Chain A
Amino acid sequence: MRRLVYLLPLVAFVVLVGWFVLGLQHDPHVLPSALIDKPVPEFSLPPLPGFDRGLASSDLKGKVQLVNVFASWCLPCRAEQPVLVRLAKDFGVAIQAINWKDKPSDAVIWLRQNGNPFQSVGSDPDNKVGIDWGVYGAPETYVIDAHGRIRYRHVGPLMPFDIEEKILPLIRQLQG
Chain B
Amino acid sequence: MIPEIGHYALVLALFVAILQSTVPMIGAARGDAAWMALGRTAALAQLGLVGTAFLALVYAYVVSDFTVLNVVQNSNSLKPLLYKLSGPWGNHEGSMVLWVAILALFGAAVAAFGGNLPPGLRARVLAVQAMIGVGFLLFILATSNPFVRVDPPPLDGNDLNPLLQDPGLAFHPPCLYLGYVGFSMAFSFAIAALIEGRVDPAWARWVRPWTLAAWACLTLGITMGSWWAYYTLGWGGWWFWDPVENASLMPWLAGTALLHSAIVVEKRDALKSWTILLAILAFSLSLMGTFLVRSGILTSVHAFAVDPARGIFILALLGVAIGGSLLLYALRAPALKLGGLFAPVSREGALVLNNLLLATATATVFVGTLYPLFLDVAGGGKVSVGPPFFNATFVPLMVPLVAAMVVGPLLAWKRADLGGALGRLAVAAVVTVIFALAALYYYGGGPVMAVIGVALAAWAILGAVAEFAERIRLFRVPLADSLRRAASLPRAAWGMTLAHAGIGIAIAGMTGSAMWMTERIVAAKPGQVIELAGYQIAFDGVEAAQGPNYAVQRGSFVIRRNGREIGTLHPEQRHYLVTGQDMTHAAIHTTGVSDIYIALGEQGADGTRTVRLYHHPLVPWLWLGGLVMVLGGAVSLTDRRFRIGAPERRRTVVSASAAAL
Q: A: which residues have CB within 8 A of B?
A: 2-3, 6-7, 9-10, 13-14, 17, 19-24, 26-29, 32, 72-73, 75-76, 78-79, 82-83, 86, 101, 109, 112-115, 127, 131, 134-137, 155-156, 160
| 9 shortest interchain CB distances as A-B pairs | A10-B326, A136-B382, A28-B299, A113-B601, A22-B377, A7-B330, A134-B382, A82-B582, A3-B334
- Is B381 a contact partner of A134 (Cβ separation < 8 A)? yes
Shortest distance from the beta carbon of A83 to any chain B beta carbon, whole Å: 8
Given contacts A14-B323, A23-B297, A82-B580, 5 further A-B contacts (CB under 8 A): A13-B322, A24-B296, A29-B306, A83-B581, A135-B382
Bound complex: CA A19 to CA B371 (Å): 11
Q: Which of B94-102, B307-315, B617-625 contacts A (4 or more CB under 8 A)?
A: B307-315
B254-304 residues with Cβ-Cβ distance < 8 A to A are 273, 277, 280-281, 284, 295-301, 303
Cβ contacts under 8 Å, A82 to chain B = 580-582
Among the interface residues B240, B281, B329, B377, which one has the most CB atoms of the partner chain A within 10 A?
B377
Cβ contacts under 8 Å, B277 to chain A = 9
Is B237 at the interface (CB under 8 A from chain A)? yes
Shortest distance from the beta carbon of B237 to any chain A beta carbon, whole Å: 7
Bound complex: CA A7 to CA B242 (Å): 31
Task: List 26 contacting pairs A-B, 8 Å CB cutoff, sorted by A.
Answer: A6-B334, A9-B280, A9-B330, A13-B323, A17-B319, A19-B370, A19-B374, A19-B377, A20-B315, A20-B373, A24-B308, A24-B315, A28-B297, A28-B299, A29-B299, A78-B233, A79-B161, A82-B581, A83-B581, A86-B580, A112-B602, A113-B612, A131-B381, A134-B382, A135-B384, A160-B580
- Is A113 a contact partner of B602 (Cβ separation < 8 A)? yes
Bound complex: CA A10 to CA B332 (Å): 13
- Selected from A73, A109, A127, A156, the residue in CB contact (under 8 A) with B521 is A109
Given contacts A109-B612, A137-B299, A155-B299, contact A26 B376 (CB under 8 A): yes
Bound complex: CA A22 to CA B311 (Å): 12
Give the interface residue-count category, chain B. 35 or more
Cβ contacts under 8 Å, B237 to chain A = 73
- Selected from A6, A20, A75, the residue in CB contact (under 8 A) with B301 is A75
Shortest distance from the beta carbon of B491 to any chain A beta carbon, whole Å: 34
Bound complex: CA A10 to CA B326 (Å): 5
- Selected from B163, B334, B384, B386, the residue in CB contact (under 8 A) with A2 is B334
Bound complex: CA A77 to CA B242 (Å): 14
- Is B383 a contact partner of A136 (Cβ separation < 8 A)? yes
Shortest distance from the beta carbon of A71 to any chain B beta carbon, whole Å: 10
Cβ contacts under 8 Å, B376 to chain A = 23, 26, 28
Cβ contacts under 8 Å, A2 to chain B = 334
Cβ contacts under 8 Å, B582 to chain A = 82
- Is A17 a contact partner of B315 (Cβ separation < 8 A)? yes
Cβ contacts under 8 Å, A23 to chain B = 297, 373, 376-377
Bound complex: CA A86 to CA B575 (Å): 14
- Is B584 a contact partner of A13 (Cβ separation < 8 A)? no
Given contacts A17-B319, A23-B377, A137-B299, contact A6 B329 (CB under 8 A): yes
- Is B299 a contact partner of A156 (Cβ separation < 8 A)? yes
Shortest distance from the beta carbon of A4 to any chain B beta carbon, whole Å: 9
- Is B273 a contact partner of A6 (Cβ separation < 8 A)? yes
Is B160 at the interface (CB under 8 A from chain A)? no
Cβ contacts under 8 Å, B2 to chain A = none
Cβ contacts under 8 Å, B281 to chain A = 9
Is B116 at the interface (CB under 8 A from chain A)? no
- Is A78 a contact partner of B234 (Cβ separation < 8 A)? yes
Cβ contacts under 8 Å, A19 to chain B = 370, 373-374, 377
Bound complex: CA A101 to CA B383 (Å): 12
Instruction: Please report the number of residue pairs spanning A and B whose Cβ atoms sit closer than 8 angstroms.
Output: 126
- Is B372 a contact partner of A136 (Cβ separation < 8 A)? yes
**A interface footprint on B162-192 (CB within 8 Å = 1, 0 otherwise):** 0100000000000000000000000000000
Cβ contacts under 8 Å, B295 to chain A = 20, 24
- Is B610 a contact partner of A112 (Cβ separation < 8 A)? yes
Residue of A nearest to B523 (CB): A112
B212-227 residues with Cβ-Cβ distance < 8 A to A are none
Shortest distance from the beta carbon of A14 to any chain B beta carbon, whole Å: 7
Bound complex: CA A58 to CA B510 (Å): 44
- Selected from B242, B284, B297, B601, the residue in CB contact (under 8 A) with A24 is B297
Is B546 at the interface (CB under 8 A from chain A)? no
Residue of B nearest to A71 (CB): B386
Given contacts A3-B334, A109-B521, A155-B299, contact A10 B323 (CB under 8 A): yes
Residue of A nearest to B580 (CB): A160
Residue of B nearest to A9 (CB): B326
- Is A10 a contact partner of B329 (Cβ separation < 8 A)? yes
- Is A76 a contact partner of B301 (Cβ separation < 8 A)? yes
Given contacts A79-B161, A113-B610, contact A21 B315 (CB under 8 A): yes
- Is B229 a contact partner of A75 (Cβ separation < 8 A)? yes
Bound complex: CA A9 to CA B325 (Å): 10
Cβ contacts under 8 Å, B330 to chain A = 3, 6-7, 9-10
Cβ contacts under 8 Å, B306 to chain A = 27-29
Given contacts A17-B318, A23-B373, A73-B237, contact A160 B579 (CB under 8 A): yes
- Is A17 a contact partner of B334 (Cβ separation < 8 A)? no
Cβ contacts under 8 Å, A114 to chain B = 602
B375-389 residues with Cβ-Cβ distance < 8 A to A are 376-377, 381-384, 386
Cβ contacts under 8 Å, B382 to chain A = 32, 134-136
Cβ contacts under 8 Å, B235 to chain A = 72
- Is A9 a contact partner of B329 (Cβ separation < 8 A)? yes
Is B593 at the interface (CB under 8 A from chain A)? no
- Is A26 a contact partner of B521 (Cβ separation < 8 A)? no
- Is A24 a contact partner of B312 (Cβ separation < 8 A)? yes
Given contacts A28-B306, A29-B306, contact A17 B163 (CB under 8 A): no
Cβ contacts under 8 Å, B242 to chain A = 75
Cβ contacts under 8 Å, B579 to chain A = 160
Shortest distance from the beta carbon of B81 to any chain A beta carbon, whole Å: 24
Shortest distance from the beta carbon of A51 to any chain B beta carbon, whole Å: 16
- Is B327 a contact partner of A10 (Cβ separation < 8 A)? yes
Cβ contacts under 8 Å, A101 to chain B = 384, 386
Given contacts A32-B381, A75-B301, A82-B580, contact A27 B296 (CB under 8 A): yes
Bound complex: CA A13 to CA B315 (Å): 12
Is B599 at the interface (CB under 8 A from chain A)? yes
Residue of A nearest to B240 (CB): A73
Among the interface residues B161, B374, B383, B610, which one has the most CB atoms of the partner chain A within 10 A?
B383
Cβ contacts under 8 Å, A115 to chain B = 602
- Is A13 a contact partner of B377 (Cβ separation < 8 A)? no
Cβ contacts under 8 Å, B240 to chain A = 73, 75
Bound complex: CA A26 to CA B326 (Å): 27
Residue of B nearest to A82 (CB): B582
Is B456 at the interface (CB under 8 A from chain A)? no
Cβ contacts under 8 Å, B381 to chain A = 32, 131, 134
Bound complex: CA A29 to CA B300 (Å): 11
- Is A24 a contact partner of B383 (Cβ separation < 8 A)? no
Bound complex: CA A1 to CA B199 (Å): 22
Bound complex: CA A26 to CA B163 (Å): 29
Is B333 at the interface (CB under 8 A from chain A)? yes
Cβ contacts under 8 Å, A127 to chain B = 384
Shortest distance from the beta carbon of A151 to any chain B beta carbon, whole Å: 18
Among the interface residues B381, B521, B601, B612, which one has the most CB atoms of the partner chain A within 10 A?
B381
Residue of A nearest to B519 (CB): A109
Cβ contacts under 8 Å, A27 to chain B = 296, 306, 308
Bound complex: CA A175 to CA B311 (Å): 36
Shortest distance from the beta carbon of B18 to any chain A beta carbon, whole Å: 25
Cβ contacts under 8 Å, A7 to chain B = 330
- Is B384 a contact partner of A75 (Cβ separation < 8 A)? no
Shortest distance from the beta carbon of B387 to any chain A beta carbon, whole Å: 8
